[in-house]
Amino acid sequence: MPTIILAEPAKPNFAGRKVLILYYSRTGHTRTVANQIHGLVGGDMVELRTVQPYPDDYDALVAQNVEEQSSDYMPPLQTTIDNLRDYDVVFIGSPLWNVRLTPPVRSFLSSHDLSGKIIAPFVTYIVSGLGRSRRDIQELCPDASVLDGLAVLGEDAGEAQTAVSEWLRGLRL
């Protein structure tokens, strides 16, 4: 499995804190929001990638997701971050699939210790707003501080700069 090792140590970027923007994106909507956050706060950005890609066919993807969620399956990831301990604030981005964080994001959170970190969730969705994203993160990262999240309608991701900026100001870091 390829390992992502960020070459330089994290540098203070957002309110004097070291920032990581970590996200999974299937259609590009969540990546778009991640890029907008990065443009405003800086930091390092890492896209989660699974060992086995998800199907392109929507119906096959939905069926696979239902199975993975019902069994709490955590897909193996190509992505690892060896210097996660260097970060103070971790922005976690995910599309919502059936009102939950995607299995790749849950897989990452379940296999990494984010104790003491500040987590700022952001999601893209079709009908569910923030869904149960905050609860998913709190269950998987009980010793982290989870901030209020940002929910962006997927099709509006390209025009979400104002919402992203307002959300960041409201975090009061």
Q: Per-residue pLDDT tens for 122-134?
A: 999 998 899 999 9
Banded model confidence at residue 69, pLDDT cuts 50, 70, 90: confident
Mean pLDDT for all residues in the chain: 90
Beta strands, E only, the chain: 12-14, 17-23, 44-47, 89-97, 100-101, 118-125, 145-146, 150-153
Q: Where are the domains of the chain?
A: 12-171
Model-level pTM? 0.89
Task: Provide the pLDDT for residue 15.
Answer: 75
Q: Do strands 89-97 and 118-125 pair parallel, antiparallel, or not at all (unpaired)?
A: parallel
CATH domain 12-171 topology: Rossmann fold (3.40.50)
